[in-house]
Amino acid sequence: MNIILGICGSIASYKAATLVRLLVKSGAAVKVVMTPDATHFITPLTLSTLSKNPVLVEYANAQTGEWNNHVELALWADYLVIAPASANTLAKMANGLCDNLLTAVYLSAKCPVYVAPAMDLDMWKHASTQANVGRLQSYGNILIRPGYGELASGLTGEGRMAEPEEIAALLDGEIRKKLPLSGKKALVSAGPTYEAIDPVRFIGNHSSGKMGYAIAAELLRNGAEVTLVSGPVSITAEPGIKVVRVTSAAEMLEQMSAHFPAADITIMNAAVADYRPATVAGHKIKKNDEEFSIPLVKTTDILANLGQLERGNRLLIGFALETEHEEENAIKKIRKKNLDFIVLNSLQDEGAGFKGDQNKITIIDRELNKVTYGLKSKQEVAHDILIKILEVMA
């Protein structure tokens, strides 16, 4: 997402540093355009460091003669945000004046434009300012209303620029509305399960959870509301993902079953134990005998259990990790577990597997359409899975 942040001459310009940081942290590419007066309040160096892009102030570089093309800048932007917007710049925008680079970019913009005014109480309340704001709104520009509080003049009232966190949250909400999974709820499982033998020992596996966490992050980035049911792992989920932590297969079954009815998309990526000890010792088992055996009983097949439930148009996606007869076994799982498609991993592929950062998959759907992908990062694999989800939903 490309965002131009316009900054005008105002004491509130210091807030722009935090706003840039929040926008970049959210994944946006940010370019800052300042009015000449804005440079008296905050330095271009600060903003270029935070945005990781040169800050533009003038139409052209006086030393090189290089032109800062306002038309190209406006076409590059998905959003133009002017924060703080001074009374002077609001008047120029409302009346089509462009005596600096920022107002020229504004007049060239085809993207949504947000203005966050910042000025003293009397300036904000003045009839001319209110008329200019009304005219800008009639052009389709979106007003981020100033807040109430103590102002630089010492007065108390309306005129404070909205806080950077408010502006970033507003933009995030507007951006997410346009994402392909906006309004959809996704449920993802990840990681291993641990099945207790006694208070200190368990049966487990080598799953790191990296693939499931990457899928959850990809779904979130594309607008979904994501719940991640995670077995014991050492990684952290992206901010915005609701994480439900579990340990055993029984706990994962309980949580997946509880969240499944509300989910539009369910992806069962966790490496759930197929068996658990029939009984769990209350104390640590002593190593007295040369041989030791543990009776095991089957755990509930969570994916098959979910596949038997009524789900309408909601998607159910499984994973299969196979070491032999890979495709044959994967196809059996599609039919047996009533899946929309399955993601097949093979431990035969060098570089792919549980603990690494790469994976190699084949996606097979219920019509037995098959696509095999090369070895990729788990983030890229998550994107390939997203593309298939969007294809099936369409």
Q: Alpha carbon of 280 to those of 15, 199, 376: distances in Å?
A: 57, 8, 40
292 contacts: CB under 8 Å, gap ≥ 6 = 285
Does 205 qualify as catalytic in the annotation? Answer: yes
d(CA 298, CA 305): 14
Query: Which DSSP letter does residue 194 get?
Result: -
Q: Is position 337 annotated in a ligand binding site?
A: yes
Do 36 and 63 meet the contact criterion of CB atoms below 8 Å apart? Answer: no
Q: Is position 260 annotated in a ligand binding site?
A: no
Catalytically annotated residue among 2, 53, 205, 338: 205
d(CA 63, CA 142): 37
Name the nearest CA neighbour of 212 among 256, 164, 268: 268
Q: Is position 274 annotated in a ligand binding site?
A: yes
Q: Alpha carbon of 253 to those of 13, 85, 274, 328, 356: distances in Å?
A: 51, 52, 12, 26, 26
Q: Is position 333 annotated in a ligand binding site?
A: yes
Helix, strand, coil percentages for the chain (3-state, nearest 5): 35, 25, 40
Q: Is position 332 annotated in a ligand binding site?
A: no
Query: Which DSSP letter does residue 152 get?
Result: T
Say whether 202 sits in a helix, a strand or coil: strand
Say whether 362 sits in a helix, a strand or coil: strand
**Residue with token string 């079954």:** 253
Sign of the C-alpha dihedral computed for residues 292, 297, 303 and 304 taken in this order: positive
Annotated catalytic residues are 205
> Binding site membership for CTP: which residues?
274, 284, 319, 333, 337
Annotated binding site: 274, 284, 319, 333, 337
